[in-house]
Structures are given as structure tokens and as C-alpha cells.
Structure 1
Amino acid sequence: MSEFLPEWLDLREPADLRARSSEVTNAVSARFALRDHVRVLDLGSGTGANLRATAPLLPKRQTWKLVDREADLHGAAKSRLIVWADSAECLGDDVRLHKDGREIDVIFTVADLASETKYLVDELLDLVTASAFFDLASEDYIRVLAKAVSDRRTAFYATLTYNGQRRWTPHRPADNQMASAFHRHQLRDKGLGNAAGPLASAHLADQFRLNGYAVIEGDSNWRLERSERMLIEELVRGHAVAASEIGGIDAKTIVDWINVPRTGAVVGHTDTFAIPAS
């Protein structure tokens, strides 16, 4: 499993969409209900799934800047967005989408988020957003981002931040041992400093509150059933790879754990919406 492969992002997209917190999405929609146009920055935009999920919450005219470090992901995003839209116009490297009465201009930007996020945020924006991103970022990255966003008094919306909760069906004695290894592996540097992992959503809330923002949080847990066997199996493989790389669990335990037929899983995530308190 790779967090950045289009195939993995495609596989998880339906579960992500279903899991989003309705309390938080309602708050996002209400925030921009009286606006004619919004300008959105999407960090770590991948295949454009965050745009597809968030655009229905926003006004009729939208301008999105999709930022990722991988140019190939922008190509995947562009093709998927064109298929998703009712109609589309290519504007050089960028695209204008028409979907459900909305006009959405999409700008694709390749950037090193480790060094350029602060400058990207320092633009005329109404919303900074990211999905399944901040558990891969460091506490320092979150702190700097929150300060940059709050300095511009911009709204902030993070979805599907992994929070460490995980339950498998059926349960096995090695589940907690495997989860511990996975979490230790997750704390490694993923390109944005040593990752905050399961503590990321708490750091986001704390940092925005420290910068004078009101914060709304909601659970956005995956609740996977037998029909999502491919996603469950990919999660299992990802845990096994992480446990093998981090060490501390013997190979037989890992192999035995992989070979358990899984019929369900719950994976905990948190959605976060932050706006200036006054």
C-alpha cells in the first residue's frame, strides 16, 4: 500500500466519501452559503477526490488550486475530474469543469509542500483544505500551517485525518501488536518531517484554537464490510509491510495475522473545520 499511488487513492475514495462527518460538512456549507465565488487551496490533492467531495458544499463559482509534489498525480486528477464533470474545457494545463450547475476552474500546481506551503497559503484564498494528509505531516508543519492560515483569516477544512482507532472483524490477539507497529512506522518522515500520525487531528485543533479560531470536529470513520474486501485486504497488506519494516514482530506472527480472513474493519478518522472566532 502506498499513500500516493492513484490505484490506492481510487480504491479508498468511496469509503472516504461515505465517511465524511455530516456535522462538519454542514458547517462548511453554511459558512459559504451566501458567497457567489470561493477560492480554494487543496494541499496534497492526489487524484482530485477532495474537490469531488467538497465542491457540492460550495457556491456556484469555484476556483481550486490543486497542489501536489507529483506531476503524474495531476495527470490522473485531470482525467478523473473531466470524467466526473458534466462537461469540461481544457485551458492549457488547467481545466474548467461544469458540474450540477457549478463552474469550477481548476489550476494544477506542482510544489514541494515541505518548503512552499507557507507561500501557497499567502495568497488570496477563502478556504485551505486537505484530505487524508495531516497524519503524514509533522507537528511543526501543522503549527506553521495553522499560523499561516490564521494570519490570512482563511477558513480551514481537513478531512479523513487518521486518529489511531482500528478494529478488525474477526478480532485476533495480534491485532494490537500489529497496530502498534503500524503506528510506530507511521511516525517516520513521509516528506514533511517526522509524522504526527494518530495525534495529527489533536494538533490541528490545538494549533487553530491557539491562533484564535473556532474549531468543529467530527468522526469520519471508515466502517468497512465484506463487500469492500479489496480495501480491507490492502489495509492488511499495508500493516504487514509496516510491521516488517519497523521490526519487533516475528515473521510467523505477521504471516499468521495476514492469513486471517477479514470480513470487516473500522478505521478511525477525524474531520476538522476551523474559522476565525471573530
Structure 2
Amino acid sequence: MGFTADWLALREPADHAARDAGLLQRAAQAAGPEPVVLDLGCGTGSTVRALAPHLPDGARWRLVDNDADLLDQAAAGPGDHAQVYCCDLAELDKLPLDGVTLVTASALLDLMPVSWVYMLASRLTVPFYAALSYDGQMGWTPDDPQDAAVTQAFNRHQLGDKGLGPALGPRSVETSAQVFTQAGFDVAQADSPWVLGPDQARLQAMLTQGIADAAAEAGATDAADWGARRAAMTAATTCRIGHGDIFARPRRSETEGTHAHD
């Protein structure tokens, strides 16, 4: 699957439908009357497109990614209200936090090690909204005898090193919520599952191929056959891929839009 522009565009409608509306609204309110939003791993700007309609006119964006081409696409929406930063998320001390009122991330925490989440939580003094982290739960209707085994293998694969150390994978939502709570934040959680029907057969096909490939790498010997069966059934299949959202707000913050510090 990867993080190509085509994959990100294909998944965006499912992402937008899955986001928990209550936490999205709380994040928008917490950004304050003059929002400055720092989006980590912004991709093509899906978080911008999801959150911007709920923010006041003139909201400013600081978009961070390590792919310059994706950054250019992300910045096209906010235009003059966006600044782009092509940098490695491992370098948290270089994040442009000064003046930020909200930090966001989407489909990111499950790729990160717990040490990264601890470092991020220790640096933030403003609300943090992280959506669409994979939670390890997958299911299909109709089912297949190999669904459970493939899911288990895929989840093992998700715990592998994605470049910064062993990833949190399916433990990302619960673990990140605990980390931010320990760091002095009030944390709210909500489920945000993809529910993909036959009308999203192309997304299902790409998704199941990626799951099968990862599961095979993790030792599921029947994963390729499972993927082929699933691909042939997408026109009559509904699948549910579990994700979770968190909204973390510093307990010491008494007003909306408290600014961050470097």
C-alpha cells in the first residue's frame, strides 16, 4: 500500500467517514479563535481537508512530512495560509512549535515507537488530536477460514520497525492514551473504524493485497491464497478495519488555544 498519493487519495473518503465527529469538533474548538495547526506526517493534506471546515477563516497550517511532493499537494488547499516543513519526524526538537495552538496527526501513531510518543508528549503544551490509528481489529462479511490467522500475522508485522524503532502497531491507541495521560493531559478516546462495502471494492482490493503481503512476510503461509480469495469477493464483501482517535488536552491549560513553546 505505502504512502503514495494514489493510495492516500483512494483511502481519504473512508478516512473522513470514519473520524469520530465528536473528537474532531473538540479538536477544532481547542484550536482557538486564531488557529495555528501543526500537522505531523501530513501526506497530501487529508487532515487539513477534514478539519479546516470546522475552523475559523484564516486558520494557519504548518505541514510536516518527509516527502516534498506530498507536501506540495497538502499546501495547495490552504495556499498562503500554509507553511511546509520537509523534515524527519524523528527530529522532534526541530518541530516548528512556537505559536502553535493545536497539533494533529492522522494514521501515524501506529507507525511510531513508544519512545517517540513519550518524547512528543513531553514537548507539547497544547492539545493533540490523533485520528485513525490502527487498533488491531479486522473482520469481513462473509468470513473466510483464514481471516483470524491473517489478522494475527498482519498485527505481528505492524509491530516491526518502520524506521524509528519497533512500532506500536495495534497497541498505538491505548498506549498513546496512557502516555499522554501520564504526561499531564486529559485524554478522550473514540473508535473510528473503516466500514467498507462493495461500493468501495477498489479500496478493499488494494487493502487486502497489502494485508496479505504483510501477513506473508510475518509467516502466514496461506496469506497469498487468502488475498486472492478476498480480491475475488470484493463486489460482495463488507469489511471493518478498526481504528481509534484520541484527543489529548493539557490539564494545566485553562483556556482554548494556549500556545506551544519551543
User: Normalising to structure 2: TM-score of the pair?
Assistant: 0.89
SS in 1 for 2:61: strand
1:106 to 71, 82, 96: 82
Cα drift, residue 131 of structure 1: 0.4
Q: Taking structure 1 as reference, are residues 211 and 230 closer, same or farther at Cα in structure 2, changes over 3 Å only?
A: same
The answer to whether the aligner puts 1:132 opposite 2:104 as a matched pair is no
Q: Taking structure 1 as reference, are residues 28 and 78 closer, same or farther at Cα in structure 2, changes over 3 Å only?
A: closer
Cα drift, residue 259 of structure 1: 5.0
For 2:15 and 2:58, locate their aligned partners in 1 and report how far apart those are by CA, in whole Å: 24
What fraction of aligned residue pairs are identical, expressed as a percent?
40
Cα drift, residue 66 of structure 1: 0.6
2:117 — aligned with what? Answer: 142
1:100 — aligned with what? Answer: none
For 2:28 and 2:38, locate their aligned partners in 1 and report how far apart those are by CA, in whole Å: 16
Q: Which letter does structure 2 place at the counterpart of 1:235?
A: L
The answer to whether the aligner puts 1:273 opposite 2:220 as a matched pair is no
The answer to whether the aligner puts 1:224 opposite 2:191 as a matched pair is no
Q: Which letter does structure 1 place at the counterpart of 2:154?
A: F
Where does the alignment leave 5 or more consecutive residues of structure 1 unmatched?
86-94, 97-104
For 1:259 and 1:226, locate their aligned partners in 2 and report how far apart those are by CA, in whole Å: 11
1:176 — aligned with what? Answer: 148
2:170 to 181, 189, 198: 198
Cα drift, residue 253 of structure 1: 4.3
Q: Taking structure 1 as reference, are residues 213 and 193 closer, same or farther at Cα in structure 2, changes over 3 Å only?
A: same
1:89 — aligned with what? Answer: none
| RMSD, aligned α-carbons | 1.8
For 1:252 and 1:122, locate their aligned partners in 2 and report how far apart those are by CA, in whole Å: 44
2:59 to 49, 58, 62: 62
Do the aligned residues in 2 keep the contact of 1:136 with 1:186 (CA within 8 Å)? yes
For 2:54 and 2:188, locate their aligned partners in 1 and report how far apart those are by CA, in whole Å: 16
For 2:67 and 2:213, locate their aligned partners in 1 and report how far apart those are by CA, in whole Å: 23
Deviations 1:140-170 (A, max 9, x none): 1111111111xxx211000111111111121
Cα drift, residue 276 of structure 1: 1.3
2:29 — aligned with what? Answer: 30
Q: Which letter does structure 2 place at the counterpart of 1:277?
A: R
Q: Which letter does structure 1 place at the counterpart of 2:85?
A: T
Q: Taking structure 1 as reference, are residues 248 and 267 closer, same or farther at Cα in structure 2, changes over 3 Å only?
A: closer
SS in 1 for 2:233: coil
1:207 — aligned with what? Answer: 179
SS in 2 for 1:54: helix
Q: Which letter does structure 2 place at the counterpart of 1:110?
A: C
Q: Which letter does structure 2 place at the counterpart of 1:29?
A: A
Cα drift, residue 40 of structure 1: 1.1
Do the aligned residues in 2 keep the contact of 1:39 with 1:127 (CA within 8 Å)? yes
Where does the alignment leave 5 or more consecutive residues of structure 2 unmatched?
253-262
Do the aligned residues in 1 keep the contact of 2:39 with 2:105 (CA within 8 Å)? yes
SS in 2 for 1:74: helix
Do the aligned residues in 2 keep the contact of 1:127 with 1:155 (CA within 8 Å)? yes
Do the aligned residues in 2 keep the contact of 1:138 with 1:193 (CA within 8 Å)? yes
Cα drift, residue 235 of structure 1: 1.1
Do the aligned residues in 2 keep the contact of 1:122 with 1:148 (CA within 8 Å)? no
Q: Which letter does structure 1 place at the counterpart of 2:66?
A: R
Q: Which letter does structure 2 place at the counterpart of 1:245?
A: E
Do the aligned residues in 2 keep the contact of 1:174 with 1:257 (CA within 8 Å)? no
Do the aligned residues in 2 keep the contact of 1:12 with 1:231 (CA within 8 Å)? yes
Do the aligned residues in 1 keep the contact of 2:215 with 2:223 (CA within 8 Å)? no
Deviates further, 260-269 or 15-24: 260-269
Cα drift, residue 121 of structure 1: 5.5
